[in-house]
Structures are given as structure tokens and as C-alpha cells.
């Protein structure tokens, strides 16, 4: 089964006359099994933004923010995606905000039939949004 590895994220704030826009850039590698690599299995990937809290995490905004296709290969392909949100979407807490992304993938058809789902969370980024 495929796994998402080396998922990283950064957030860049841009202030202009219309307000604050945050650009979220993330990258990862899709590592697949030999069987998935042999058939160039493809995964439909979607990205969600989450706010980290002590007890429960909050899904922020209207996901998915990006959707793209990721294909199994040897060596593993590395993917980088970016999208923009109003920075107020990231203001999820009193004081400092802890933000992470959740990357979800679903295979077109898994080896042996059916679909396979994969999920990974990035490390959190802390800032005042």
C-alpha cells in the first residue's frame, strides 16, 4: 500500500490593499509498493487545513484546497503544491494558532480490486493569524 512521506508545509503572509493573503505551500513523496509501481497506480490527492487543539482538531475553511493526481513510480515522485487563503481562515485559536494540513489520497483501483485510501498530517506551523 502507498504511503505519503516527507510531508512538509510552510505559510507565507502577503499584505496588500485588499488585506492579508496566506500562501500555503506543501511538498511530499508518494512511496508505493512494487505492485503499485508496476502498474503506475494513480492517487487522487486532496488537501485540507486543520487547526491543532489540545483535545479536538478543527477543520478550517472549505476543503479541499487543492486536488491533483499523484502517480506511483520508482524512485518515488516528489510533489509540490501551493494555494492561497485569506489569513483570517487560519485564525483558529486565542493567541497563537497551530496549523497543519491533512493530505488525503484515494487510488483509482487498488491491486486486487476496490480502492485504497491514504492520509498524512504535516507538522504544525505556529503563528498569529
pTM for this entry: 0.88
Residues 37, 72: contact at Cβ < 8 Å? Answer: yes
Q: Tell me: the pLDDT tens digits for 6-37?
A: 999 999 998 877 778 999 999 999 999 999 99
Reply yes or no on whether the pLDDT at 54 is more than 90: no
Four-CA torsion 28, 60, 52, 78, nearest 10 degrees = 0
Q: Tell me: the pLDDT tens digits for 65-96?
A: 999 999 999 999 999 999 999 999 999 888 89
For the chain, the domains span 3-127
Say which CATH topology domain 3-127 has: Immunoglobulin-like (2.60.40)
Amino acid at each position: 500500500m502507498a504511503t505519503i512521506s516527507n510531508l512538509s508545509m510552510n505559510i507565507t503572509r502577503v499584505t496588500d490593499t485588499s488585506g492579508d493573503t496566506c500562501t500555503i505551500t506543501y511538498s511530499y513523496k508518494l512511496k508505493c509498493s512494487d505492485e503499485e509501481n508496476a502498474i503506475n497506480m494513480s492517487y487522487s490527492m486532496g488537501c485540507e487545513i486543520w487547526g491543532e487543539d489540545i483535545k479536538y482538531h478543527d477543520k478550517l475553511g472549505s476543503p479541499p484546497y487543492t486536488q491533483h493526481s499523484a502517480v506511483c513510480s520508482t524512485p518515488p515522485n516528489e510533489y509540490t503544491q501551493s494555494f492561497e487563503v485569506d489569513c483570517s481562515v487560519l485564525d483558529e485559536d486565542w493567541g497563537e494558532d497551530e496549523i497543519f494540513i491533512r493530505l488525503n489520497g484515494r487510488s483509482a483501483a487498488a491491486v486486487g480490486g476496490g480502492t485504497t485510501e491514504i492520509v498524512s498530517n504535516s507538522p504544525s506551523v505556529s503563528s498569529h493569524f
